[in-house]
Amino acid sequence: MDGKIKRIGVLTSGGDAPGMNAAVRAVVRTAISFGLECIGIRRGWQGLINSDFVQLDGAAVGHILDRGGTMLYTARSDEFREEKGRLKAVATCKMLGIDAVVAIGGDGTFRGALDFSRMGIPVVGVPATIDNDIGCTNYTIGFDTACNTAIECIDKLRDTMQSHERCSVVEVMGRNAGFLALYVGISVGATAVLVPERELNFERDVVERIRSARLAGVTHFMVVVAEGAGSAVEIAKQIHEAIGIEPRVTVLGHIQRGGSPNARDRETATRMGYFAVKALAEGRTNLVISTRDGAIVETPIEEALQMKKHLQMDRYEVLEAVGVSKPHV
């Protein structure tokens, strides 16, 4: 490579997130504005191995801003984890004349991007995951829409739980992080929220909170469980054994990934996509585009993968203070 980037590839990898299409659109249209060509790589890193691509112009991304999912499809690739697979991907880049890649996804996507960059292909990462667990950025594309999807579902569920005076245990996604669960739990006024970052004391965190609510006159209870904190089914069994009530379990699952991205995710994805291409056009590579205090910043991929993101436990204090009415004395 002569160092001058003329054609870039863009891919989405890992779990899909609302706003990925908006990021792809921004990458393509920004590339065009900088005089660059853009190739869409379908099905993530595996697409580079298989030479699965589509040429993209402004018209090709003209009606995807409001669409959930990803027009480029997404996949996880065990083959790309091996050097043999990455060499095939490098060969695809050489054949197609791809000088650099914008990779949209989570930490698994960025680990692949780091390995790929070490093979001589410049990369820039754009964080998109509903888990919001990327250490180098305050916000990841898809989180807000996923929260609102979960909130809408739980609000509807609460209507029937209240009508039947029941306890509901709802499991939300988030992998090994509790950001989604805690944000949603506060927003729906949950009786209790269980997150992996806080060691569970079942008597304190669940039983006593339900008892306090019941003594205050509440007859329906909402327990939100992050998938990384345990099984909603098992939590429901423990509640039944400890208190005698029979909870209903709802696992929201992949419904949280779908739907039209909201304003925050469209706007953030568009800005991140723009700055990803701008960095490449100006010669800065092997970065993750991040947000900090509302501003777009660049973090070297290797450094980004070493950074840890901690759950803001003051939000848990808020939940404990306002989530359950105290018994009348």
CATH for 297: 3.40.50.450
- Beta carbons of 9 and 96 less than 8 angstroms apart: yes
Query: What is the Cα–Cα distance from 31 to 7, expressed in whole angstroms?
Result: 9
Sign of the four-CA dihedral 159, 160, 166, 167 = negative
Domain for residue 219, yes or no? yes
136/267 same-domain check: yes
**3-state SS, residue 183:** helix
Q: What angle do CA 124, 130, 133 make, to 5 degrees?
A: 70
- Chain centroid to Cα 68, Å, comes to 13
Residues belonging to the active site: 131
Give the gyration radius of the chain's Cα atoms: 22
Q: What is the pLDDT of residue 187?
A: 96
Domain for residue 319, yes or no? no
Contacting residues for 31 by C-beta, under 8 A, at least 6 apart: 8, 37, 38, 277
276/128 same-domain check: yes
Point out which residues pair with 47 in neighbouring strands: none
Domain for residue 171, yes or no? yes
Point out which residues pair with 171 in neighbouring strands: 225, 251
Q: What is the pLDDT of residue 3?
A: 61
Query: What is the Cα–Cα distance from 38 to 100, expressed in whole angstroms?
Result: 10
Domain for residue 317, yes or no? no
User: Could you tell me the pTM of the whole model?
Assistant: 0.94
159/214 same-domain check: yes
132/221 same-domain check: no
Query: What is the Cα–Cα distance from 193 to 170, expressed in whole angstroms?
Result: 10
Domain for residue 115, yes or no? yes
133/279 same-domain check: yes
How many folded domains does the chain comprise?
2
Residues in the chain with pLDDT values less than 50: 1-2, 328-329
21/138 same-domain check: yes
Domain encompassing residue 21 = 7-142+261-306
Q: What angle do CA 77, 104, 95 make, to 5 degrees?
A: 65
275/153 same-domain check: no
167/253 same-domain check: yes
CATH code of the domain in which 177 resides: 3.40.50.460
Query: What is the Cα–Cα distance from 27 to 20, expressed in whole angstroms?
Result: 11
DSSP state of 104: E
323 CB-contact burial (10 Å; exposed 0-12 / middle 13-18 / buried 19+) = buried
Domain for residue 316, yes or no? no
Query: What is the Cα–Cα distance from 4 to 62, expressed in whole angstroms?
Result: 28
251/268 same-domain check: no
